[in-house]
Amino acid sequence: MSSPVWHPFHQHGLGEDIPLVERAEGALLYTSDGREIVDAISSWWVTTLGHNHPRIVAAIRQQAEKLDQLIFAGWTHQPAEDLARGLIAMTPPALQYVFFSDSGSTAVEVALKMALGFWANRGESRHRILVLEHSYHGDTIGAMSIGERGVYNRAYSPLLFDVGTIPFPHKGAEQASLDALNSACSAGDIAAFIVEPLVLGAGGMLVYPAHVLAEMRAICAAHDVLFIADEVMTGWGRTGTLLACEQAGVVPDILCLAKGITGGSMPLAVTMASAPIYDAHYSTDRSKLFFHSSSYTANPIACAAANANLAIWQEGGVLEQVTSLAAREADGFAHLAAKHSLANLRQCGSIIAMDVDVTDAGYLSDLAPRMKAGFLQRDILLRPLGNTIYLMPPYCMTQDQLDRILTAIDEVLTEVL
Ligand SMILES: *Cc1c(COP(=O)(O)O)cnc(C)c1O
C-alpha cells in the first residue's frame, strides 16, 4: 500500500524512492533496508554538531521528564530564561531581547512584524521592505513575499506583498548593488532591509564579500532603515564564525536564528532585537504590545536542547571543527574541479559549492534530479540546487565520510557530463 504521507518539495507523481530512516549518528543515517547514508547537507542545513549528539539527547530526555510544554504568554520556565541569557552573552551587546518561535520562517515573520510594529508604535508611516535579489527566507506567505519569485511560489503570488529588490552584489557589480540600496533607502517609506549575511542559501549558495555586508549595514543606518539579518542558515558556525555578521563587524537591529540553534535536534527559533525595537512596544498601553504567538513558543524541551548546544559551544572546539572540515572540503573540491567541467568554485566556512558547466537548457532542467538520484544510489544524501553541487555537512564529518561523498560526486559527474 502506498503511504498517505505528503512530502514537502517532493513530486509524488514521479514515483521516486523515499528512504525510511530508522536512526542516525554523527553524519550517518541508517535506513530500514540496512543502508548507511552519509548526510552531506546536514538534513537540510540543520544538523551542525552531528545527529543524536549524546549531550543534546540527554538534555532532551531530562527536560521531558520535568516540564514538557507551557503557555509562554505571561508565563516562563528556566530553560527559556537560561537560553535567552546564554544567547545574549554570545551575540553582540546591542541585541538585548529574545523572542521565541519555532521555525526559521516564523523567526522571519516575527522580524518583519517587529519592524512594522516599531514604526507603527512610533507613529511613523514606514511599511515597505527591501530585500536582496535571489534571497530565500522561508515558505510562509510573508517569508515568500520577501524571497525570490519563481515556480515555487507562482501560484500564491496574488497573496504576496510587494517589496523593493536590490540587485545581488555579483563580483564586479558590488557598487551597483550598494548604490541601488542607497537610492531605495532614500525613499523615506522603508521600514527595513532583510538580508542573508555572506551566503544566499536556497538562491544557489551565492557568496558575497564581508565588506559589502558592512557597507549595506552602514547605508541602512544612515537612512534609519532597520537592518534585519536572517542567520537561520548562516548561524551556529556554518560560515566559520558563530554568526556570519561577525566577519563584517556588523550588528543588526534584528537577528533571526533557527536551524542549528538546538544543534539541529528540535524545532526552535529566536528573533533577537535591539533595545529600541523592544522599547517601541514597551508601554502601559496594551495596544502597543507585540501581537505574535504560536502554541509551541519556547517549548521547554526544545530550549533544553538549545541550552545543551550552547554549553557545547562554550566549551570551545566547535569552530576548530568547522575550520578543519572547511580545509578538507576545499581540498576535495579542488581535485573535482581539476578533473571535471565545473565553474564558480566558492566557499564560506563549511559551505562549499560549484556549478556544473552546462549551457543546454533542456539538459540543465533535469540535471539536479538526475544527480540527486545518482547520489542516493551511492548512499549519499545530497540535493543539488539546479546545476549547483554543494556540501553543508555536520561539523563532525570524518575524512572517510567526506571521501565517500567526493567519490560519489566524481562518479556522478562522470555519468552525467
Ligand atoms: C531555511 C531558511 C529559512 C526558513 O527556515 P524554516 O525553519 O525552514 O522555516 C529562513 N531563512 C533562511 C536563510 C533559511 O535558510
- 295 Cα: distance to centroid of ligand 1 (angstroms): 19
Residues whose CB is less than 8 angstroms from the CB of residue 290 and which lie 6 or more positions away in sequence, other chains included: 99, 113, 114, 117, 281
Angle at 56 between CA 321 and CA 143, to 5 degrees: 80
Q: Which sequence spans correspond to the domains of the chain? A: 12-53+317-416, 54-315
Structural contact between residues 145 and 135, judged by C-beta atoms closer than 8 angstroms: no
| Helix (H) or strand (E) segment spanning residue 79 | helix 78-90
Strand segments, DSSP code E, in 254-399 are: 254-257, 269-274, 342-348, 351-356, 380-381, 388-391
For ligand 1, atom 15: residue with the closest CA: 233
Residue 147 in contact with ligand 1 by CB distance below 6 A: no
Residue 138 in contact with ligand 1 by CB distance below 6 A: yes
| Helix (H) or strand (E) segment spanning residue 228 | strand 226-230
Mutate to test the pocket of ligand 1, among 101, 134, 136 (most ligand atoms within 8 A of CB): 136
Residue 230 in contact with ligand 1 by CB distance below 6 A: yes
pTM as predicted: 0.98
For 327-371, write each residue's pLDDT tens digit. 999 999 999 999 999 999 999 999 999 999 887 766 677 899 999
CA–CA separation, 192 and 111 (whole Å): 10
Residues whose CB is less than 8 angstroms from the CB of residue 265 and which lie 6 or more positions away in sequence, other chains included: 47, 52, 53, 56, 57, 60, 305, 309
Q: Residue 362's pLDDT is what? A: 66
Residue 103 in contact with ligand 1 by CB distance below 6 A: yes
CB-based burial, 72-96: b 16+ in 10 Å, e otherwise: beeeebebbebbbebbeeebbeebb
CA–CA separation, 314 and 263 (whole Å): 13
Whether the domain at 12-53+317-416 and the domain at 54-315 fall into the same CATH topology: no
How far does the chain reach from its first CA to its final CA, in angstroms?
37
Q: Residue 404's pLDDT is what? A: 98
* Inter-helix orientation angle 367-377/399-416, to 10°: 130
Task: Copy the grid coordinates of residue 145.
Answer: 513575499
* CATH code for residues 54-315: 3.40.640.10
Q: Mean pLDDT for the chain?
A: 97
Q: Residue 359's pLDDT is what? A: 76
Q: Residue 361's pLDDT is what? A: 65
Return the ligand 1 atom nearest residue 196 CA: 13
Task: Copy the grid coordinates of residue 285.
Answer: 498601553
pLDDT at 1 over 70: no
Structural contact between residues 291 and 120, judged by C-beta atoms closer than 8 angstroms: no
* CATH code for residues 12-53+317-416: 3.90.1150.10
Average pLDDT of 264-293?
97
Q: Residue 41's pLDDT is what? A: 98
pLDDT at 107 over 80: yes
Structural contact between residues 140 and 178, judged by C-beta atoms closer than 8 angstroms: no
Residue with cell 537577528: 255
For 31-88, write each residue's pLDDT tens digit. 999 999 999 999 999 999 999 999 999 999 999 999 999 999 999 999 999 999 999 9
For 153-180, write each residue's pLDDT tens digit. 999 999 999 999 999 999 999 999 999 9
Q: Residue 2's pLDDT is what? A: 83
CA–CA separation, 360 and 366 (whole Å): 11
For 202-256, write each residue's pLDDT tens digit. 999 999 999 999 999 999 999 999 999 999 999 999 999 999 999 999 999 999 9
Give the 3-state secondary structure percentages of the chain, helix then strand then coil, rounded to 5: 45, 20, 40
